[in-house]
Homo-oligomer: A and B are copies of this chain.
Amino acid sequence: MKNVKAEFIAVGTELLLGQIANTNAQWLSQQLARYGINVYNHTVVGDNLYRVEDAFSEAQSRADIIIVTGGLGPTEDDLTREAFQQISDLEIMEHTPSMNKIEAFFEKQKSTMTPNNRRQARVFKGSEVLDNTVGMAPGMIVKYEQKTWIFLPGVPREMKQLVKSDVIPYLQKLTGNEEIIKSTILKFTGIGESSLEHELSDIIQAQSNPTIAPLAQDDSVVIRLTAKDRSKEKVDELLKGTKQEILAKVGSYFYGVDDQTIESQIVALLKKENKHIAVAESLTGGMLTDKLISVEGASSVCHGGIVCYDTTVKQDLLGVSKELIQNKGTISEECALVMAENVREKLNASIGISCTGVAGPDEVEGKSAGLVYIAICDDTGEKFVEKFNFQGNRNSIRRRTTLKSLEILFKHLKG
């Protein structure tokens, strides 16, 4: 396969004003990545002839394939053709089939076609015209001084249709790409991004196929493996081999692949073990139970729980004794353990999980914000409690407590 450099230029002042996000560039990037075409730049430039020309000249000098989105519409602001003509001197002509289509559209709508709509049917002489089946302006592929220029409408629906029907097949032919490209995502919990990279640094440095890319995500640490080969079997084998190598080092932090979440894995483990769970949560206020119940099919393994935010609920509904609360307080190992035991009993569950702590910003019972206890009580007789000091504001402490509870529960179930 030929190694080519691609880049994208989006034309439109609305992007520079932040009225829309450049989601076209993201989508195009995903498509090209799948076919092994390296994208080196995204550029956004406004509806200004000179600045569009500058962006085009720059791209002509450094890339092999340039995909331009936007600026092909009917208004005076749509300057993509004019700007490319300035740098290339290519002739612009009216494309009869496109013009007929536009006229037929207005006739069908029984509305008058304003003259500026003719503008959309103009194409470069000698270009390959791409039929826009969901809009007016056709796409174009133009060869200019060894570089391939692909002009597409900026409306995402129209752009995507043309990419799928015309652009991808063209690029596969152009690059001689017979390779199959496949990615998988490995997900980890209980380890930071930098520690994971540190643990895997030898493998990461030695690897090129599959490539190994750590990705920062809000609540978990994930690695994407991307393998390429002409044979589907070989691709799967490459991914499998590297996954095994990685899990040999950091398997204890691994919880799932691709779309799997830690809560979906917990629900799957509970189903497998034929167990069900009850939750007693204080500072998290329902967030932990909500995570579990968000999983399709959770009803058979999570019956519900008690949100015992206030001390009275811990006492009256959950049956934590007044003495325990007086002697140890509600933010204590002892209270967390009794909460887990009692919720398990009251809901006739196999496992009880509890969390209690200080979400902040104020202290509770003289304990500062971020102090959290998480306890598990299992009908196997096993029970334990862990203590944490989380950082952050009220809602980040609540979120961290929920995630840590899921992590502890997952590890407990995995055994």
A interface residues with partner B (beta carbon < 8 Å): 13-23, 25-31, 33, 39-46, 51, 54-55, 58, 62, 73-75, 105, 108-112, 114, 116-117, 155, 192-195, 197-198, 213-216, 224, 279, 281-290, 292-294, 296, 298-299, 302-310, 312-313, 316-317, 346-348, 361, 389, 391, 394-395, 398
With a cutoff of 8 Å between Cβ atoms, the chain B residues found around residue A303 in the complex are 309-310, 312-313
In the bound assembly, the distance between CA atoms of A389 and B105 in angstroms comes to 11
In the bound assembly, the distance between CA atoms of A258 and B347 in angstroms comes to 41
Chain B min CB distance to A338 (Å): 16
Residue contact B307 to A14, C-beta cutoff 8 Å: no
With a cutoff of 8 Å between Cβ atoms, the chain B residues found around residue A296 in the complex are 361, 394
With a cutoff of 8 Å between Cβ atoms, the chain B residues found around residue A28 in the complex are 18
In the bound assembly, the distance between CA atoms of A391 and B114 in angstroms comes to 19
Residue contact B44 to A16, C-beta cutoff 8 Å: no
With a cutoff of 8 Å between Cβ atoms, the chain B residues found around residue A25 in the complex are 15, 18, 21-22, 44
In the bound assembly, the distance between CA atoms of A155 and B218 in angstroms comes to 9
* Chain A contact surface mostly: mixed
With a cutoff of 8 Å between Cβ atoms, the chain B residues found around residue A310 in the complex are 299, 302-304
Residue contact B22 to A18, C-beta cutoff 8 Å: no
* Residue of chain B at shortest CB distance from A120: B194
With a cutoff of 8 Å between Cβ atoms, the chain B residues found around residue A316 in the complex are 346-348
Residue contact B14 to A18, C-beta cutoff 8 Å: no
With a cutoff of 8 Å between Cβ atoms, the chain B residues found around residue A27 in the complex are 18
Chain B min CB distance to A69 (Å): 13
With a cutoff of 8 Å between Cβ atoms, the chain B residues found around residue A346 in the complex are 316-317
A42/B15 contact (C-beta < 8 A), A305-B307, A309-B302 known: yes
Residue contact A116 to B33, C-beta cutoff 8 Å: no
* Residue of chain B at shortest CB distance from A21: B26
Chain B min CB distance to A46 (Å): 7
With a cutoff of 8 Å between Cβ atoms, the chain B residues found around residue A389 in the complex are 108-110
Chain B min CB distance to A229 (Å): 19
* Residue of chain B at shortest CB distance from A22: B22
Please tell me which one of the listed residues B114, B192, B281 contacts residue A198 in the complex, with CB atoms under 8 A apart. Answer: B114
Residue contact A299 to B309, C-beta cutoff 8 Å: yes
Residue contact B19 to A21, C-beta cutoff 8 Å: no
* Residue of chain B at shortest CB distance from A197: B75
Please tell me which one of the listed residues B40, B43, B195, B292 contacts residue A42 in the complex, with CB atoms under 8 A apart. Answer: B43
With a cutoff of 8 Å between Cβ atoms, the chain B residues found around residue A73 in the complex are 216
